[in-house]
Amino acid sequence: MQHSRLSFGGSRTQTMVYCCLLLHRTGLDPNHRTATVLCGAKLQIISRVTAAVTKQAASIATIESALQTVDKNSRDRQNIYCLQTMSENPGNSKTQSDGRLILFDEESKRLRPYDPTSNDAPELDHAKLDCRFFTAVALGRHIYVLCSDQTCLRLHYRIENAQWERMPDMNFKHGWYPPSIRFAGSLFVFGVAADHPPSNVVERIDPTVEKKWSQEKDRQIAVNDVGLVTLGQSIYCIGGWDGDKETDAFASYTPSLSQWKELEPLRRCKHYCCAVAVNEQIFVIGGCDESVDLEEVESYHVLSGQWTTLSDMNAGHYNAKAHYVDGWIYVVTRDDTSDKMEKYDIANDKWHVIVPTGCVFHCLESVTI
């Protein structure tokens, strides 16, 4: 979580709507006057922010001072989750994500929240995840895991010792790593990934109200291994494999209109790239071209429709995930033989290698909450 301001923006009415939504998502009666935190499984109502809501922003200092009332001896003190604004990316945010980075440990099968300050990733006591091939997506107060066998699981990450629970199965097989993303309160899956014939099938579910997945409008072309990112009212599909070769295809899908739009192609054909949106830019990172892991990075400016080449990473990364956390872009490769990450300084166009200290683990997946 970014420790500066909990900013809601917009009119006072919009602000209160966001407050009600966020409080509802954390499991509370949606009373906009209440700010909350979670300490393990114990929910504590710690502060009233009526005046701050009226001003359309809540000072983080108010919440920090309230945290002093929390038991300092709690072993999960460092994992208290404050109320996070726009934690679901409701679709009109200019930044895809700006939260907390969670890593999936292949050996222990548990979650590890990464702390940029200490460069450590302590293990949490949630239930183990017995799944080797999957994609993880954070939505609301849950982390969802979409597995290669069409099953879907979720974990209430704010509760200590939480268990993985079964959710409705997907309607279609989407490969080893189902290409999935969150958008406007729903989970979306696009095509397939890894050793499966290309597909143009798209399906979605709002897990808070729906009991089954529904099919969205198919894409005009069938590709697999696409990169995904959301910005504004659209989901962007990047690159992929058409069954014979990598592709430079770049398209947007607007769920509210059920509309696909083909955009300016990538500068290089690739598949298994990752992407993240910051303001009006989409950063496309790494990928694979003819079995070569790519170090290259390029950005697409949505307003101008132009591509820009940026500095290469220190190493090639494919089948990775990209995250925007505290002003940095993090790249984490889904590779059980690597514990290295990289982070990108946007202002200086420079990449830095990260090796978390204090722990040795192999990362299967990553997600931002």
Q: For 151-190, what is each residue's pLDDT tens digit?
A: 999 999 888 889 999 999 999 999 999 999 999 999 999 9
Top mean pLDDT of 61-65, 178-182, 361-365 is at 178-182
> Distance between terminal CA atoms of the chain?
9
**Nearest Cα to Cα of residue 75 among 141, 163, 160, 164:** 160
Sequence-distant (6+) residues with CB within 8 A of 364 are 104, 105, 106, 132, 134, 334, 336
**Structural tokens at position 275:** 């992407």
| CA–CA dist 264, 307 (Å, integer) | 8
| Backbone region of residue 26 per phi and psi (left: phi > 0; alpha: psi in -120 to 50; beta: other values) | alpha
| CA–CA dist 285, 283 (Å, integer) | 6
pTM exceeding 0.85: no
| CA–CA dist 83, 140 (Å, integer) | 11
| CA–CA dist 315, 312 (Å, integer) | 8
Helix H segments across the chain? 12-25, 50-54, 60-66
Phi, psi of 77, deg, nearest 5: -55, -40
**Nearest Cα to Cα of residue 338 among 314, 360, 311, 309:** 360
Q: Give the tens place of pLDDT for each residue, 202-232.
A: 999 999 999 999 999 999 999 999 999 999 9
**Structural tokens at position 330:** 């993090």
Mean pLDDT, the chain, rounded, equals 78
Domains and CATH numbers, the chain: 5-82 (no CATH), 101-368 (2.120.10.80)
